[in-house]
Structure 1
């Protein structure tokens, strides 16, 4: 799948979450990594963003693990985003 500018804007919009903790983490990640993500990584990010906020936060905080191995590298990048 190829992500054009409109699709990238939609993904940016999807990163606005209902939990402040996710907004902070995703804001850092988006500022530092978003423009360099490949189309494959963007496809995985869309899947992750489809998760409910509590589940997403639990994955980011490593309180839960994922059964989807494609999520692991991107979750690592999200966690590594610096303030």
Structure 2
């Protein structure tokens, strides 16, 4: 379980240098993060340590993340924003 302080840091880490990432990550952390189990929350936190160009390429479908657990998290986030 994430403490409020740790969650606040995580939320701050969702603010990226690219608008495209901000519009994916900020709504997810606010509405979908608490639905994840503990392991998935850890994976989301780990995802945020990746570089913006990599995240952009994964979320935009230009590349596939080679790490299966991170790729699963990317796909989960994308599935929540697709209409």
Farther-moved stretch of structure 1 (3-12 vs 13-22): 3-12
Check if 1:38 corresponds to 2:37. Answer: yes
Shift of 1:32: 2.7
8 Å CA contact 1:17, 1:23 repeated in 2: yes
TM-score for the superposition, normalised by structure 1 = 0.84
Q: Which residue in 2 is equivalent to 1:76?
A: 75
TM-score for the superposition, normalised by structure 2 = 0.84
Q: What do residues 5-51 of structure 1 show as CA deviations (whole Å, max 9, x unaligned)?
A: 22111111110000000001112322331121222111111211111
Can you give the 5+ residue segments of structure 2 that lack an aligned partner in the other structure?
Answer: none
Structure 2 counterparts to residues 1-83 of structure 1, below 5 A: 2-82=1-81
Tell me how large the CA RMSD over aligned residues is: 1.7
Distance across 1 between alignment mates of 2:72 and 2:65: 11
Q: Would you say how many aligned residue pairs link Structure 1 and Structure 2? A: 82
Can you give the 5+ residue segments of structure 1 that lack an aligned partner in the other structure?
Answer: none
Higher relative contact order (Cα pairs below 8 Å, separated by 6+ residues): 1
